[in-house]
């Protein structure tokens, strides 16, 4: 029997209507689900323009605001109305009435800090909002019989919204058309299996299409669609839920607890126990309370994050959740989908290899007809369509869209004599393990080529037997385009001790060959995911041992992410297809490509709008800059808090005047913390992010604060015994200020390591600033600083030197005890 005869002899479907040669068949699009024979139905045309205007006038619009950032009002409120701003504001008002303007400088610093925070966050907001508009997916809505993309907020009640693979259901509705439509509702219901939808079935906003296509009519829009509200809330820009910010909140809580009793004791000591001038006592009391507040720490954290958003925005990276910058810096495993991440989205058919003397011309016609039967082809089928366009000789009477779970698509074609079931998909899924066609497939896969099998089946298209009864007819060889930047990006992750795991639905050998071309370590030991254990612990062990996994189902991707997380790994997942959505949602950080499906962009924390995998190192670097630098400056701020609290305790216990006025500590804070912290917080930093932020900061800040307080109070007591007579308090304060400045500048010098030219210049400039205050007469008067004599100033320097030596010993001991 000839090949043409062998292929064409199957008759009409059992029990189905007879089809005569040349019979008029309904169009390819739309088609019904594979379980039903299609009938010719005129597709709905959607609302008319007049009906749309009428609904807008009635307010039946999907007006739920989807924001990518906090509103301007929220930004101003969040920066102005803080607990510590309130405390400082009250103290500032008091100082206006009891002391010179010099002692109120701390209030002007707070105003400047708050203004900087607002300006920087508004800049970040503009960047985020602009990128959100660029990256916003526009649903396809049919109006006046024409389909076009519109903004989600422009959808009105009754609109007919088209759906395809990867599309997100943006409002609640009822299915009007279904073409093998399968919708995943797991993000809403927790049910893992996709749901096949027929006309009349409800669809919920927040679900997404995994296979097939169709259209639905919007029945609930705006705030009536409850699931839409959940999606909006989940995707809204946030400044919370990060270890860095929660750690700072914890620190501030402890600081508040320490402040209350200490400040109370100081107030009693200075106003009641000591019989001094009332206004001077008030000024010194305020001078003791103000430095306890690490007021700039929250500001600098917000500024560092905001500037990070702006920097990444310039690289077309949309950060949908701000802590994602920090999160990706903590990642130690990154899971990569091959298609669309390591390779570019498009493919090229390089060879058509008929098997068993199949007629090449007829095979090309079959491929063209299968392509024409799918209104929304994936990348593989699009390449087939480009290479083998439909000539119209074969008519599809039933279609089966591609599904990542089953790994094949298909169509039932009529050639004028009979119908035949055709499948197009993964050879190792459609064929038995001993089929000779698999040997040729294996050779092609080892070259990094992607291979599809065209097979004929005797079973119904929607039957589970369709794949098991498949008979190989031809191999379609596709060449994938590697991303030119993928190799460098993988090398970067290897250098940063971030394990890269390629998990793909493609053939394992082919995936391994692609990974090997990109230089991924372990690519030679590719694992077929169908042979992986189902036990979570065993799965985690296999994942830690391997680097490349093929034939991974969407549910397996999700399980893999969970298994790695169970071993304490921080996992990032990248992807662009609908089969990546579940894993993206469960990963610690989800990264989607801008050209990917709407569903992936909706659940990801980071969207690479330029589709460049090479942007990821920039995100990692930005996160490391933020975390490393905030750790540095937090140590500066908390050292000040510790020594301020201890000084207040020592003063209360010793029943002496508090040594400083607010102007003194404003000067010290500006030179040793405020100005240098701003530069250090924004500097480049490639240190790998480490966990336990609070404990790491406190183990440095506490000894530094204790040493600074002990050295300063020692100098103050020595000065009190040395000086006597009028003006002695100013001389005592000046000596204590000198010691505290020298110890604090040494803390800054330690934190600024490793040194670069600009870090040395920064420390030197701050020291020079203090020297200028000491030698310029009007600055001496302004800050009430005047060193008297020779013996005590040099004693102050000697005490500070001893403190610096103790600082070096204590910090090195901490480094040895808690190595990086």
pLDDT of residue 763: 95
Q: Find the helix or strand (DSSP H, E) in which 212 lies.
A: strand 208-220
Q: What is d(CA 351, CA 1) in angstroms, rounded to the nearest whole number?
A: 26
List the one residue out of 596, 175, 590 whose CA is nearest residue 345: 596
pLDDT of residue 479: 83
Q: Provide the total of helices (H) and of strands (E) in the chain, helices listed first.
A: 30, 21
Region of poorest pLDDT, from 267-271, 330-334, 641-645: 267-271
Torsions phi, psi of 68, nearest 5? -95, -5
Q: What is d(CA 333, CA 573) in angstroms, rounded to the nearest whole number?
A: 9
Residue 749: strand, helix, or coil: helix
* Beta bridge mates, 422: 411, 456
Q: Is 337 a catalytic site residue?
A: yes
With contact defined as beta carbons under 8 Å apart, do 788 and 723 qualify?
yes
Give the residue, 250 or 716, on which the prediction is more confident: 716
pLDDT tens digit sequence for 122-157: 877 777 666 666 556 688 899 988 888 888 888 998
pLDDT of residue 277: 66
Question: Whole-structure pTM over 0.95, yes or no?
Answer: no
Q: What is d(CA 498, CA 515) in angstroms, rounded to the nearest whole number?
A: 16
Per-residue pLDDT, averaged over 170-197, amounts to 79
The answer on pLDDT for 650 being more than 60 is: yes
Handedness of CA 796, 799, 805, 806 (dihedral sign): negative
List the one residue out of 605, 579, 589, 575 whose CA is nearest residue 234: 605
> How many CA within 13 A on the CB side of residue 122?
11
Beta strands in 21-159 (DSSP E): 140-143, 146-149
With contact defined as beta carbons under 8 Å apart, do 639 and 747 qualify?
yes
Chain position carrying tokens 């940063």: 496
The answer on pLDDT for 476 being more than 60 is: yes
Tokens of residue 684, six digits:
């480049």
The answer on pLDDT for 321 being more than 70 is: no
> Which segments of 660-756 does DSSP mark as H helices, in order?
662-669, 675-681, 693-722, 728-751
Q: Per-residue DSSP letters for 582-635?
A: HHHHHSSEEEEETTS-HHHHHH-SEEETT--GGGHHHHHHHHHHHHHHHHHHHH
Quick one: CA torsion of 176, 182, 184, 185, rounded to 10 degrees? 40
List the one residue out of 154, 250, 171 whose CA is nearest residue 206: 171
* Beta bridge mates, 607: 318, 592
Q: What is d(CA 638, CA 165) in angstroms, rounded to the nearest whole number?
A: 52
Region of poorest pLDDT, from 88-97, 235-244, 453-462: 235-244
For 409-432, b/e burial (b = at least 16 CB within 10 A) is bbbbbbbeeebbbbbbbbbbbbbe
Q: What is d(CA 748, CA 679) in angstroms, rounded to the nearest whole number?
A: 12
CATH number, span 317-342+483-611: 3.40.50.1000
Beta strands in 191-242 (DSSP E): 195-196, 202-203, 208-220
What mean pLDDT value characterizes the chain?
A: 80
784: left (phi over 0), alpha (psi -120 to 50) or beta: left
- Report domain extents, the chain: 3-13+27-43+343-482, 72-125+239-310+622-817, 317-342+483-611
- What is the CA 655 to chain-centroid distance, rounded? 53
pLDDT of residue 68: 52
The answer on pLDDT for 512 being more than 50 is: yes
The answer on pLDDT for 707 being more than 70 is: yes
pLDDT tens digit sequence for 764-810: 999 999 999 999 998 988 888 888 888 889 999 999 999 999 999 99
The answer on pLDDT for 535 being more than 50 is: yes
Tokens of residue 117, six digits:
């925070």
Band (pLDDT 50/70/90 cuts) for residue 274 is low
With contact defined as beta carbons under 8 Å apart, do 227 and 280 qualify?
no
The answer on pLDDT for 11 being more than 80 is: no
pLDDT of residue 564: 93
Q: What is d(CA 401, CA 388) in angstroms, rounded to the nearest whole number?
A: 18
pLDDT tens digit sequence for 401-443: 887 777 888 899 988 888 888 999 888 888 888 788 888 888 8
Tokens of residue 94, six digits:
């008091």
The answer on pLDDT for 372 being more than 90 is: no
Superfamily of the domain at 72-125+239-310+622-817 = Calcium-transporting ATPase, transmembrane domain (1.20.1110.10)
Chain position carrying tokens 């095979």: 363
List the one residue out of 329, 466, 361 whose CA is nearest residue 411: 466
Q: Find the helix or strand (DSSP H, E) in which 218 lies.
A: strand 208-220
Q: What is d(CA 773, CA 780) in angstroms, rounded to the nearest whole number?
A: 6
Band (pLDDT 50/70/90 cuts) for residue 81 is confident
* From 337, 374, 390, 586, the catalytic residue: 337
Tokens of residue 33, six digits:
């689900």
Q: Find the helix or strand (DSSP H, E) in which 97 lies.
A: helix 83-98
List the one residue out of 291, 290, 285, 292 whose CA is nearest residue 266: 285
Q: Return the CATH fold of 3-13+27-43+343-482.
A: Calcium-transporting ATPase, cytoplasmic domain N (3.40.1110)
């Amino acid at each position: 029997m000839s090949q043409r005869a062998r292929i064409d002899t199957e008759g009409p479907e059992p029990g189905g209507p007879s089809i005569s040669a040349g019979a008029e068949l309904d169009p390819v699009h739309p088609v019904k689900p594979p379980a039903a024979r299609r009938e010719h139905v005129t597709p709905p045309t959607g609302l008319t323009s007049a009906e749309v205007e009428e609904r807008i006038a009635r307010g039946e619009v999907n007006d739920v605001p989807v924001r990518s950032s906090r509103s301007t009002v929220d930004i101003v409120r969040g920066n102005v109305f803080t607990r510590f701003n309130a405390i400082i504001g009250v103290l500032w008002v008091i100082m206006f009435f009891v002391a010179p303007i010099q002692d109120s400088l701390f209030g002007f610093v707070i105003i400047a800090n708050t203004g900087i925070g607002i300006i920087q966050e508004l800049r970040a907001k503009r960047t985020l909002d602009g990128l959100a508009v660029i990256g916003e997916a526009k649903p396809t809505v049919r109006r006046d019989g024409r389909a076009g993309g519109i903004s989600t907020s422009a959808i009105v009640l009754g609109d007919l919204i088209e759906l395809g693979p990867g599309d997100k259901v943006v409002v609640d509705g009822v299915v009007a058309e279904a073409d093998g439509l399968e919708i995943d509702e797991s993000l809403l219901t927790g049910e893992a299996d996709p749901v096949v939808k027929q006309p009349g079935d409800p669809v919920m906003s927040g679900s997404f299409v995994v296979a097939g296509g169709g259209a639905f009519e919007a029945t609930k829009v705006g705030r009536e669609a409850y699931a839409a509200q959940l999606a909006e809330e989940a995707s809204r820009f946030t400044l919370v839920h990060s270890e860095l910010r929660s750690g700072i909140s914890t620190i501030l809580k402890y600081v508040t607890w320490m402040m209350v009793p200490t400040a109370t004791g100081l107030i009693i000591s200075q106003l009641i126990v000591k019989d001094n001038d009332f206004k001077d006592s008030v000024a010194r009391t305020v001078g003791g309370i103000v430095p306890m507040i690490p007021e700039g720490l929250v500001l600098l954290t917000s500024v560092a994050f905001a500037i990070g958003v702006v920097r990444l925005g310039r690289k077309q990276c949309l950060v949908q959740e701000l802590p994602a910058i920090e999160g990706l810096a903590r990642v130690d495993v990154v899971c990569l989908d091959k298609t669309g991440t390591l390779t570019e989205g498009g493919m090229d058919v390089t060879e058509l290899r008929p098997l068993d003397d199949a007629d090449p011309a007829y095979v090309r016609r079959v491929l063209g007809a299968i392509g024409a039967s799918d209104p929304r082809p994936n990348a593989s089928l699009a390449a087939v369509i480009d290479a083998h366009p439909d000539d119209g000789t074969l008519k599809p009477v039933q279609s089966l869209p591609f599904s990542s779970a089953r790994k094949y698509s298909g169509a039932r074609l009529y050639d004028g004599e009979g119908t035949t079931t055709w499948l197009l998909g993964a050879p190792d899924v459609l064929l038995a393990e001993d089929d000779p066609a698999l040997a040729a497939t294996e050779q092609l896969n080892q070259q990094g080529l992607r291979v599809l099998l065209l097979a004929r089946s005797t079973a119904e298209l929607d039957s589970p037997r369709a794949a098991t009864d498949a008979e190989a007819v031809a191999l379609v060889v596709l060449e994938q385009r590697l991303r030119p930047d993928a190799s460098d990006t993988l090398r970067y992750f290897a250098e940063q001790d971030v394990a890269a795991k390629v998990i793909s639905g493609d053939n394992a050998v082919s995936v391994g060959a692609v990974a090997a071309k990109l230089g991924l370590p372990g690519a030679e030991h590719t694992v077929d995911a169908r042979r992986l254990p189902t036990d979570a612990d065993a799965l985690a062990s296999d994942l830690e041992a391997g680097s490349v996994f093929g034939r991974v189902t969407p549910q397996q991707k999700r399980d893999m992410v969970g298994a790695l997380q169970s071993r304490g790994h921080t996992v990032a997942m990248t992807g662009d297809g609908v089969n990546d959505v579940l894993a993206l949602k469960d990963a610690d950080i989800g990264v989607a490509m801008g050209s990917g499906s709407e569903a992936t962009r909706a659940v990801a924390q980071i969207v690479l709008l330029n589709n460049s995998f090479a942007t990821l190192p920039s995100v990692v670097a930005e996160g490391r800059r933020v975390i490393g630098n905030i750790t540095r400056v937090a140590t500066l701020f908390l050292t000040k808090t510790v020594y301020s609290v201890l000084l207040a305790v020592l003063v209360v216990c010793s029943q002496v005047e508090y040594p400083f006025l607010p102007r003194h500590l404003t000067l010290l804070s500006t030179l040793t913390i405020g100005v240098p912290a701003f530069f250090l917080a924004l500097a480049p930093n490639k240190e790998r992010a480490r966990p336990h932020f609070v404990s790491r900061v406190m183990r440095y800040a506490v000894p530094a604060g204790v040493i600074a307080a002990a050295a300063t109070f020692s100098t103050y007591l020595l000065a009190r015994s040395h000086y006597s007579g009028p003006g002695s308090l100013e001389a005592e304060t000046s000596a204590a200020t000198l010691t505290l400045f020298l110890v604090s500048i040494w803390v800054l010098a330690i934190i600024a390591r490793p040194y670069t030219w600009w870090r040395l210049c920064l420390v030197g400039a701050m020291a020079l600033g203090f020297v200028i205050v000491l030698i310029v007469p009007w600055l001496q008067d302004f800050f009430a600083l005047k060193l008297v004599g020779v013996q005590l100033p040099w004693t102050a320097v000697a005490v500070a030197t001893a403190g610096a030596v103790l600082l070096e010993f204590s910090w090195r001991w901490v480094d040895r005890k808690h190595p990086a």
